Amino acid sequence: MPRSRGRARGMGLDSITLNPVGIVKSQITERNSMPTTGIQAQIIIFSEFSAALERIDEYSHLWILTWLHQASRNTTTVAPVKVNPLSRKFGVFAIRSPARPNPIALTLVKLDRIQGNTLYVTGLDAVNESPVIDIKPYFDHDVVFSPRTPHIAPLKPDLLMKNLLSQAITHHGEICSDLLIAVRMAFIADNRLESTKSPNVKVHVSGSPCLADTLQGLCRARLANPSRFAYNPLGERKQSVWTSGSKRLTLICLQELDIENFCSLSDQEIFNITLEENKT
């Protein structure tokens, strides 16, 4: 018997009873069909917990805890197969895998609206009929702007693009041309240098506040401690300069983007691209 489990039983914690407070309603019924960015869904709170929803509409985002009823409970190590099946394995306590001893999912969602006992949310990582264990509000102190996490590079480029776009919208709050330009810039830098969130990567941005705001959010770079981000609001053209070690990547924007041409145009059609090796 593992020591920790024996200690828990000695303290009278050999079993825990959880009573669901609600249930998920969505179009996704199988875990394998769940996109990595989550889905729009409804959370129906049971009537006996109606009073627990008082003033919840004052929050824009919520933490949703659900029970992953389709997940395996006999797994301790997994590879992030949805992102990159060739990646090395992680212990389940070191990754957001649904398979784990207690399959509890923690998802940060955007609260779109409330109707009666039903919460309409975006970004939920839970399939249809998943039991909802608890709901907690997202507070300001939940923010860690520049966390340290292992880099898991998506095997498919389109998944990286979708993830970057989702992160950009969450950070910047609206879709505009400069947000789309920033996403394409970060995508190129991620592919030609290394992860833009790496502490080794620095970026200097010229152009609009929207471009700078989105790029800073995507690369999680601070102005100081350490200094990885710089911004010139007076730049006449939209550009970003990325450095990693001896490499220097310069991206100069040649045209505006919209949702229609965001994915259809090639990198060369959007940017003047220069990748140099610093000799100093």
**Tens digit of each residue's pLDDT (9 = 90 or more) over 228-273:** 999 998 767 899 999 999 999 999 999 999 999 999 999 999 999 9
Q: Which of 116, 142, 168 is the last residue of a domain?
A: 142
Stated as kind and residue range, the H or E segment containing 185 is helix 177-192
CB-based contact 131:45 (threshold 8 Å): no
Mean pLDDT of the chain: 89
114 has a pLDDT exceeding 80: yes
pLDDT at 121: 97
pLDDT at 1: 35
CB-based contact 67:108 (threshold 8 Å): no
How far apart (Å, rounded) are the C-alpha atoms in residues 277 and 228? Answer: 19
Q: Environment class of residue 62 by beta-carbon count within 10 Å: exposed (0-12), middle (13-18) or buried (19+)?
A: buried
**Tens digit of each residue's pLDDT (9 = 90 or more) over 15-66:** 888 899 999 999 999 888 888 788 999 999 999 999 999 999 999 999 999 9
Does residue 161 share a domain with residue 136?
A: no
Q: Which of 115, 142, 169 is the last residue of a domain?
A: 142
- 180 within a domain of the structure (yes/no): yes
Does residue 63 share a domain with residue 179?
A: no
Q: Which of 142, 175, 194 is the last residue of a domain?
A: 142
Q: Please count the structural domains in the chain.
A: 2
How far apart (Å, rounded) are the C-alpha atoms in residues 97 and 81? Answer: 10
How far apart (Å, rounded) are the C-alpha atoms in residues 21 and 42? Answer: 14
Burial profile 182-220: b = 16 or more Cβ within 10 angstroms, e = fewer:
bbbbbbbbbeebbbbbbeebbbbbbbbebbbbbbbbbbb
How far apart (Å, rounded) are the C-alpha atoms in residues 67 and 59? Answer: 23
Q: Of 233, 235, 240, which Cα lies nearest the Cα of 274?
A: 240
**In terms of pLDDT, which residue wins out, 144 or 55?**
55
Domain at 253, CATH number: 3.30.1330.130
Neighbours of 228 (CB within 10 A): 23
How far apart (Å, rounded) are the C-alpha atoms in residues 139 and 239? Answer: 34
Tokens for 57?
């509409």
Does residue 203 share a domain with residue 233?
A: yes
- 132 within a domain of the structure (yes/no): yes
Report the SS3 class of residue 158: helix
Domain at 98, CATH number: 2.40.30.70
Tell me which residue range forms the domain holding 202.
Answer: 157-277
Full-model pTM: 0.74
